[in-house]
Amino acid sequence: MEPRDVVVDGWGRGQLRLRRTVRRCLLLSAILALAAPSAAQARAFPKDFLWGTAIAAFQTEAGGRPANTDTRSDWWVWSHDATNIAERHVSGDLVERGPGHWRLFRRDAALARRRLGANAFRLSIEWSRLFPRSTRGARTPRQLDRLADPGAMRHYAAELRAIRQRGMTPVLTLNHFTLPTWLHDPIAVREAFAGVGPDDPPPTVERGGWLNDRTVREFGAFAAWAAWRYGKQVDLWVTINEPMVVAVNGYVNVAGAFAGWFPPGVYSFPAAVTVVRNLARANARAYDAVHRHDRNARVGPVQNMIAFTPADPASANDRRGVEHADYIFNRVFLNAVVKGQDDEDVDGRIEAGERHPDLRGRADFIGVNYYFRSRVTGLPGPASSTVALFDFLPSNTYRHPQNPAAPPCPTTCSEFGAEVYPQGFRGVLRTAGSYKLPLYVTENGLADSDDDMRRGYLLDHLRVMRGAMRDRLARVEGYFAWSLTDNFEWAAGYYPRFGFFSFNPDTLARHERPSAETFGRIARLGSLPSGQ
C-alpha cells in the first residue's frame, strides 16, 4: 500500500514537532535512567554531611623556623627527655622537623578544600602556646585574655578565618593530649612514682597534670576563654580528645606487655582511675563554659574506640575479657559524660553514690575515633586490686620496624602494626549510637607510607559506616580522616605515615598521595564509587 499524502497545516506541524520532542525527551530519560542511578541512590550520604580531615596542633605546627615550635608543653619535654630516648620509650625524632602547619595553615586549608573536597576541618588549639605562663587566679575570660600570648591569639583567629573563608566548618578541639608545663611536669611525676606499686596510692605532685584538681579548674577557665574569644568563628567544639588513651597510655605502662609511653609513663591503676574521673569532670566544666559563652555551640568529647574480639572465641575467659575490655575502654568515660555514672571502683556496678547530675548530659554529640581491632586474652582473675574488671590482656600491636619483637600480624596490618578490621567499625558505631546522640567519626586512618592500602581502607570503612547509618545503628553526621599530612605520632615520632600528603622537612613542600583523589571524589559527590 502506497503512503497517502498528508496535508499538515501550521497547527498540525506544531503538534508533530511537539510529539517528536516529547519522544526524544522520553528516550533520553530512559537512557539516563539505565546509565546512572537515581539521585537518591547516587548520594549515599546526606547532603549536609561533613567531610574533612583532622589534625592536632602539637603534631603538625612545628617545622621550618624555630619560632614555629612550641617548647612549653609536657609533650615537648617528654619527647626530648634523654631517659625516654635511651630506653626507647619515645622515638627520639625531633618534633621540630615537622610539616610547619603553624606557618603554612592557609596552604593546608586550601589543600583540604581543593584537593580533598572537604567541607569541614578538625584542628586543635595549643593551650601552652596561648598561655605559656600560669593563669592561676585568673577566672573570667577577660582576666585570662590579659595573660594570653597576643601572637598566638591572633594566629588561631586567622587560622579559623582561613578555614571558614574556604567554605569549611571548623571543628575545634580544646585539648588534644598536651598540657602546659606549668600544669604538668611529666619528668617530676615519673620520678615521684618510682618505687610506687601498681595498686598503691599515687603520690602528690605539685604539677601533676590530670591527677590534680587544679588542672580540671584551669581547663574549665581555658574553655570559657576560648568560647568567649573564638565563639563567633566556631560552632562545633571538642572538649577532650581520647581521654582513655591519656589515662591508659600515660598511667598503665608495663614494659614488654602493653605500654603506650605517654607522659608521665608510669604504672599505677589508682592514678589511671583518678585521671579518667578528672577528665570526666573537666569535660563537664568545659561543656558548661562553652555553652555559657556560645549558646549556639554544639559540644562533645572524642572517644577512641576499639573493636575487642576474643583471642580464642571458644574460651569463656577470653569472651569475658572482651566484655570487660569493652566496658573499661569504650564505655566508662561515655557513661560518665552522658549518663552521669562515675564508676569509682570500675566494677561495672553503679551504686547510689556514683550517680552525679553535674556530669550527666554534658555532650551534644560523641566523636568516635576508630583504627583497629584488639584481640583479648582473658586471665583467671583480676590483675589489679583497684580495677576488678581488669582480668584480660589486649593485643593491639603486631610486628613492625619500631617493635620487631612483637608477634607477627595475624591478618592484615598497617605499617605501624595495627590490625585492619573494618568489620569492627560497625560494632563500635552501634555502641556509640546506643547513647542516642549524633556521632561524628572524628578520626579514622592508617599508617601507609607507600599508599597501597589507604584507598581500600577508606572504602571498606566508609561502606561499613554507610551500612550502620542505613540500619539506624548510629546517627553519623560527619567523617574526618586522619590525617591531612604526615605528622608527629607521639611516642612513635615521624615513622607512621598517616597523611594524604607527605612533606619534605627541609622545604616543607607537600606531596599528594594517590588516595587523596579517592577521598576528594567521595567528599564532593557524597557517595562511594560505583560498585562499592
Q: Which residues are tagged catalytic? A: 242, 443
Cβ-based neighbours of 380, under 8 Å, separated by 6 or more: 317, 391
What are the angstrom distances between the C-alpha of 267 and each of 150, 209, 517? 39, 16, 44
Asked if 409 and 398 touch (Cβ cutoff 8 Å), the reply is: yes
What is the Cα–Cα distance from 75 to 214, expressed in whole angstroms?
19
Helix (H) or strand (E) holding 31: helix 10-35
Helix 269-293, helix 243-251: angle, nearest 10: 150
Residue whose C-alpha is closest to residue 99's, from 53, 67, 54, 68: 68
What is the Cα–Cα distance from 407 to 174, expressed in whole angstroms?
37
User: For residue 50, which phi and psi values (nearest 5 degrees)?
Assistant: -90, 130
Residue whose C-alpha is closest to residue 140's, from 227, 238, 237: 227
Which cell is 187 given? 619528668
User: If DSSP codes are grouped into helix, strand and coil, which group holds residue 249?
Assistant: helix
What is the Cα–Cα distance from 416 to 458, expressed in whole angstroms?
17
User: If DSSP codes are grouped into helix, strand and coil, which group holds residue 154?
Assistant: helix
User: If DSSP codes are grouped into helix, strand and coil, which group holds residue 371?
Assistant: strand
What are the angstrom distances between the C-alpha of 309 and each of 4, 411, 467? 81, 14, 21
**The residue to which cell 498528508 is assigned:** 6
User: For residue 291, which phi and psi values (nearest 5 degrees)?
Assistant: -65, -30
